Amino acid sequence: MLETCRGNTAFGLLMGAVFLAGCTSEQVTIPEPVSDSKPKPLVIDARILDVGSEGPNHAALGKLRFRGGLILASDNSHFGGLSSISIAEDGVDITSISDRGDRIDATLIYDVHGNLAGIEGGTLQRLRGLDGNSLTKKRDSDAEAVASGADGGFVIAFERRHRLMKYSKGERTIPHPISMPDALQKAPNNGGIEALTRLKDGRLLAIAEKLEGEKAGDIIGWIGNETNWRKIYYVSDFGFSPTGAATLPDGDVVVLERGLTLWSGLTGRLKRIPLSALNAGVRIQGQLLAEVILSQHITNFEGIDARLGAKGETLIYMISDNNFSEIQKTVLIMLELVGNAVQE
């Protein structure tokens, strides 16, 4: 495995160095819950992620190409904890859900080369529960994954009180519960569904973070149409677990993993699952795309989405969860798959 990942080490060292530059304090601020679910203006400051003097057009990351990155911040204490993202097909609108139940919407800006260059027009609103009231308790508001809804809205996976909820398109929507696999209730309190994406055929792929199968390395997941779920087994290396998933334009799925290794510390990895492997009852083992080595003191990437670019290229977006800590940063990056982007 070390030999397989070696070609992407530069990417990991690059990201770790960038984040370390911003570490100043260990103070953690916990904001009070938003009591009103009506969208409110949110000012988001964006600083360009500096990857060196060559610039983003020359930053090759193994089988991926760096296409721009932003370090995001806001004076609003509710900005942070972003565990998932959804990017519009045209790449303009971005929606992110925090692990404290806040929804953030904004508009992305690109330069003349189509590289990610800025963000503007932010709004923040609190997710609502089945009773129409804003989610205020942590056990109810811990949103960890999001997938596109069939009607243009979203399906959101919550943990602690494990459940799937469908939010229709529009503001201040009251969710509808989705039947979920019975086995999900056996997941650890903080180890529920973290990887969730809608497949090209309309089914949902959901993978738990810490629900282990009978075989070593197997993590339980499901494929279903919101009413009928079939179990799958996601094969992960020791110490790694899935934290996000996105469906690529060709139908394949890319899974974001997080882990801790002796030789590189806190690590994030991208793995690609062929569309042909996405069948119920099977053991799925992704093919390595890239490795992201992060400092143990720095926030980790948890949110991921993908879309088709204007020139037909496949673009992948990743966002990091800052855990509402002043020493950790919210970072949004855009990557481009190069060729078939499968690690040999």
Chain position carrying tokens 């609103």: 125
Asked if residues 141 and 128 have their Cβ atoms less than 8 Å apart, the reply is no
Question: Residue 203: how many CB atoms within 10 A of its CB?
Answer: 19
pLDDT by residue, tens only, the chain of 344 residues: 222 233 333 444 344 433 333 333 334 444 555 555 678 999 999 999 876 544 444 444 567 888 999 999 999 999 999 999 999 999 999 999 999 999 999 999 999 999 999 999 999 999 999 999 999 888 899 999 999 987 778 999 999 999 999 998 776 678 999 988 888 888 887 788 999 999 999 999 999 998 887 787 889 999 998 778 999 999 988 778 899 999 999 999 999 998 766 666 667 789 999 999 988 788 998 999 987 664 433 557 899 999 999 999 999 999 999 888 887 889 999 999 987 544 33
Alpha-carbon span 299 to 295, nearest angstrom = 8
Distance, CA of 335 to chain centre: 14
What is the longest distance spanned by two Cα atoms in the chain?
A: 53
Alpha-carbon span 255 to 145, nearest angstrom = 12
Q: Which residues contact 54 (CB under 8 A, 6 or more apart)?
A: none
Q: Which residues contact 285 (CB under 8 A, 6 or more apart)?
A: 235
Considering the segment(s) 2-337 as one domain, its CATH architecture is 6 Propeller (2.120)
